């Protein structure tokens, strides 16, 4: 599933369309990605409007159009955004295509765990507003961090890092990266974390989020070769520091990888 940095990368894929008018909207109205969305209203109101800007929050994106129109997209597990030519014919899994004079803005989602939402109004939609600060923001601070951890003392720390109401945008690989850099065993209960571990966890969460946002491209190849991510996907993956095989288990419903030396 795309995480914070991947979502930001996908958001930027539609940037060439900023300032251009949507001439035609193609969509697969009955598909699950449009659950709860009035697709007729979406198509009618977006047609003829210009894309003004966009922003990302956690694993979601919001695109603003003229005449007070807002389009929200969540990529789910297999969603992606891309640009195609102006005469592009939507394929089976291209559930939303916004045709402009010089290009087509395409949202594709083969497994349909993503979502498209629409809102017409002068202010951003209520489903976009959130009380959860972004990790790279100043409001994601130690008091917020400590309060959230204190509410989940019995849970393994890996599972807590995946909770979007605390760690917005963090997913499986980022959580493993943070824990590896913090030298914390993923299965360790939050209440058992030492003050030094909590301090390291906070700093590494900030670091991984900021660094991945500034460097990650369409895949993980742009990230430093010393990071765990380049080894965690492979069954033969080893710790970048100790070159010993990584261990694996399912924690918080997700496959987790860690180094038995770094994370005891």
Co-location of 105 and 166 in the same domain: no
CB 65 within 8 Å of CB 22: yes
Question: 169 and 88 in one domain?
Answer: no
- C-alpha 240/C-alpha 253 separation (Å) is 25
pLDDT reported for residue 1: 67
> What pLDDT was estimated at residue 214?
86
Q: Residue 131: what pLDDT?
A: 78
Domain membership flag for residue 125 = no
Q: What is the pLDDT at residue 199?
A: 98
Q: How many domains, in total, are found in the chain? A: 2
The pLDDT score that the predictor gives to residue 130 is 76
Q: What is the mean pLDDT of each run of 10 residues along the chain (264 residues)?
A: 86 97 97 96 98 93 98 94 95 97 97 96 90 92 97 98 95 96 98 98 97 76 89 93 96 96 95
Cα–Cα distance for residue pair 41/29, rounded to 1 Å = 11
The CATH number given to whatever domain includes residue 219 is 1.10.8.50
Which residues, listed in sequence order, are joined to residue 115 by a DSSP beta bridge? 74
Per the domain annotation, does 135 fall within a domain?
no
Rounded to whole angstroms, how far apart are CA atoms 83 and 19? 15
130 within domain boundaries? no
- Is the same domain home to 175 and 73? no
Question: Is residue 20 a part of any domain in this protein?
Answer: yes
Residue 224: is it exposed, middle or buried by C-beta count within 10 angstroms (0-12/13-18/19+)? exposed
User: What is the structure's pLDDT at 39?
Assistant: 97
Query: In the prediction, which pLDDT does 220 show?
Result: 65
The whole-angstrom separation of Cα 259 and Cα 185 is: 8
């Amino acid at each position: 599933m795309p995480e914070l940095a991947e979502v930001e990368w996908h958001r930027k894929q539609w940037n060439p369309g900023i300032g251009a008018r949507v001439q035609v909207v193609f969509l697969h109205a009955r598909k699950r990605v449009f659950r709860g969305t009035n697709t007729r209203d979406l198509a009618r109101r977006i047609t003829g409007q210009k894309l003004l800007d966009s922003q990302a929050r956690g694993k979601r994106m919001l695109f603003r159009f003229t005449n007070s129109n807002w389009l929200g997209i969540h990529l789910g597990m297999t969603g992606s955004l891309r640009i195609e030519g102006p005469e592009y014919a939507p394929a089976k899994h291209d559930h939303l295509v916004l045709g402009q004079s010089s290009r087509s803005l395409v949202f594709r989602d083969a497994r349909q765990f993503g979502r498209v939402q629409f809102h017409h109004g002068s202010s951003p939609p209520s489903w976009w507003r959130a009380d959860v600060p972004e990790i790279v923001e100043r409001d994601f601070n130690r008091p917020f961090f400590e309060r959230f951890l204190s509410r989940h003392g019995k849970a393994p720390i890996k599972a807590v890092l995946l909770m979007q109401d605390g760690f917005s945008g963090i997913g499986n690989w980022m959580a493993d990266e943070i824990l590896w850099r913090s030298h914390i065993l993923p299965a360790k209960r939050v209440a058992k974390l030492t003050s030094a571990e909590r301090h390291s966890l906070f700093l590494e969460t900030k670091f991984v989020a900021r660094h991945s946002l500034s460097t990650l491209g369409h895949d993980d190849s742009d990230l430093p070769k010393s990071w765990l991510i380049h080894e965690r996907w492979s069954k033969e993956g080893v710790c970048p520091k100790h070159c010993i095989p990584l261990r694996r288990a399912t924690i918080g419903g997700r496959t987790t990888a860690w180094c038995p030396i770094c994370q005891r």
